[in-house]
Amino acid sequence: MTRRFRAGIATAAAALVAAGLSPFISPLGGANAATTASSTYGWGGATEVWDWERGESTVGWRDFVDGTGRVGIYYGQLGLDSGPASYNATATGDVVTWLDGNAHSRGRWEFRMKSKQWATATAYQVRLELVPAGTLPSSCGTTAVTLASWNGYTSSTATQLGVRNGASTWTRTPLALSQANVFHTYAVEIKDTAMTWFVDGKAVGSLTSAQAPGAFTTTPLVPRLVLDGTAGKAMTHTRATTDWDRYFSLAKAGSTIPSTTPALTPATTPVTGMC
């Protein structure tokens, strides 16, 4: 897939500077503010960019639906909507979208996402993850790097992150984040000897090859977004959207990640939000 960059970015940047604003991607302010890891740690310019606020194409992204849902553009965001059309009606099945191409085993990925639910049926699980290229949309496979996963939509939803390779899973204590229709930025940096997870520009989890050599795969990975429904159950109408997605190479060293970043630990029981 040809790398696609926002048209007229130099003109837009100049206009923002003239207005006293940053020329870089800036999430909503106030209660929806979210800082990026890429700016905090100096990753440089993204080498792959996906935006939809100007009606850009979804070419390169594929989707899978086995119930009432659909994948589409909602207010300039790529969204997974569980349907049906009525906001207070229940939904069924899964909704999945993934990048078909541009796979990488190493690098930095960052996403700006939010979710919202209506009614009070069984809550969908939302997953933002990296999976091996070619993984079936309805399959968890044997390898997954989870940037964020949750199935609640309150001001303090337990939000999981971690990595799975084969039968082994590493995770950390779930973060309490507002998932009540609030944007957050989620990122992960994968190097040969270290992985780091970020939320809203802050390093929140880490793992080294010395701590867990089995967690590091050389398999090329692609982004995947999932609304995971419970089979045979009526689910709450839910929409998860991504405002933008970025991939950064490791060419620029970036700033040092704090040594106090919590280390992930092996999971001894099934982990909510992990494949």
How many other CB atoms sit within 10 Å of the CB of residue 218? Answer: 7
pLDDT score, position 174? 92
pLDDT-flagged residues of the chain (< 70): 1-34, 55, 85-88, 141, 268-275
Domain residue extents for the chain:
30-266
The span from the CA of 157 to the CA of 262, in Å, is 19
Q: Where are the alpha helices (DSSP H) in the chain?
A: 9-18, 37-40
pLDDT score, position 12? 35
pLDDT score, position 9? 33
Instruction: Indicate the fold that domain 30-266 takes in CATH.
Output: Jelly Rolls (2.60.120)
Q: What is the pLDDT of residues 198-226, one digit of tens each?
A: 999 999 999 999 999 889 999 999 999 99
Q: What is the pLDDT of residues 177-186, one digit of tens each?
A: 999 999 999 9
pLDDT score, position 2? 36
**β-pair partners for 165:** 143, 168
Which residues in the chain belong to E strands, given as ranges?
48-51, 61-65, 70-74, 77-81, 90-91, 95-99, 107-117, 125-132, 143-150, 157-165, 168-171, 175-177, 184-190, 194-199, 202-208, 221-228, 235-236, 238-248, 265-266
pLDDT score, position 8? 35
pLDDT score, position 65? 94
Among the listed residues 76, 69, 75, the one whose alpha carbon sits nearest the alpha carbon of residue 53: 76
pLDDT score, position 269? 55
pLDDT score, position 133? 93
The span from the CA of 154 to the CA of 231, in Å, is 24
pLDDT score, position 203? 97
> Which pTM value belongs to this model?
0.85
